[in-house]
Amino acid sequence: MTKILSVQDMAISFGNNHVLKSVNFELDHNEVLGVIGPNGAGKTVMLNILTGILKPTAGKIFFKGEDITGTSVTERVRMGFGRTFQIPRSFEKMTAYENIMCGGVYGDGLNEKQAGERAWGILGAIGLQTKADTFAGKLNLLDRKRLEIGSAMASAPEVLFLDEAAGGLTETEVAEILEIVRSLKAGGCTIIWIEHVIQTMLQGTDRILLLSDGRDLITGLPYDVMASDECETVYLGVKTK
């Protein structure tokens, strides 16, 4: 079966700053791939390239076997991409329900009735139905993180890109984000998840990719990667064995 996403020799430079030098990986349908690495490794830049915000200096990106390297953000959303951001980008003076509705209307071309029905279902899935009429700017961090995921899901993406969806949360709150991700995977979504919270990478992913110095150093099963010499050297600093 064709991989849902394939990245070949992806690189990007900003002047003399070679942020990504050569990144390669493949993603299976309905897989959750975790991405870890030290600060400055290029994780968010990689996500920005994959979602069309940035254009790579070199390399190719294939979605279901088709070269999409030169396509725009809008085209990728319509193809089936959705993403969150490290700092939630909700419309603060709109309700949680309205925020998700916008994603359905503008991201998937739904009419208001269709978008409203989808939004209500997503609010239930992310645990925000009781706060549907709350302005996004009034939500706490956990609920803003939930809403960020919900807004990304509003266009019914096949591939969801999560950028530190659990960042800044307590252990109990992280567990709630994990449950949302597991539910999305159970529903057939394919996910690439950048995170520094080790709990999420060990408990919520199928494989982990370790990114450092602009390259994919190692990709494998979560505990294998976390216990590897490469991970100890560039990321953890301590043995996990």
Task: Give the chain's mean pLDDT.
Answer: 93
Residue 78's CB is within 10 A of a number of other CB atoms, namely: 14
CA distances from 127 to 26, 48, 105, 146, 235 (A): 32, 28, 22, 8, 33
In the chain, what are the domains? Answer: 5-36+81-236 (3.40.50.300)
pLDDT of residue 87: 87
pLDDT, tens digit, 9 for 90 and up, residues 37-51? 998 889 999 999 999
Phi-psi region of 75 (alpha: psi -120 to 50; beta: other; left: phi over 0): alpha
Q: What is the pLDDT of residues 17-71, one digit of tens each?
A: 899 999 999 999 999 999 999 988 899 999 999 999 999 999 999 999 999 999 9
Task: Please give, one letter per residue, the 3-state secondary structure of 71-137.
Answer: CCHHHHHHHCEEECCCCCCCCCCCEHHHHHHHHHHHHHCCCHHHHHHHHHHHHHHCCCHHHCCCEHH
Average pLDDT (233-238) is 74
209: β partners: 35, 219
- 238 pLDDT band, cuts 50/70/90, is low
Residue with the bigger pLDDT between 230 and 149: it is 149
Q: What confidence tier does 2 reach under pLDDT thresholds 50, 70, 90?
A: confident
What tokens were used for 82? 């959705």
Q: Which of 103, 107, 104 is nearest to 75 (CA)?
A: 107
How do strand 215-220 and strand 58-63 relate by DSSP bridges?
Answer: unpaired
pLDDT tens for 183-221 read 999 999 999 999 999 999 999 999 999 999 999 999 999
**Is 133 exposed, middle or buried (CB count within 10 Å of its CB: 0-12, 13-18, 19+)?**
exposed
Task: Report yes or no: 22 and 180 within 8 Å, Cβ to Cβ.
Answer: no
Q: What pLDDT is recorded for position 240?
A: 43
Percent of the chain surpassing pLDDT 70: 98
Question: Which has the closest alpha carbon to 179: 137, 149, 140?
Answer: 149
Question: What is the number of residues in the chain?
Answer: 241
Q: How confident is the model at residue 241 (pLDDT cuts 50, 70, 90)?
A: very low
Instruction: Output the pLDDT for position 235.
Output: 83
Q: How far apart are CA 41 and CA 209, in angstroms?
A: 12
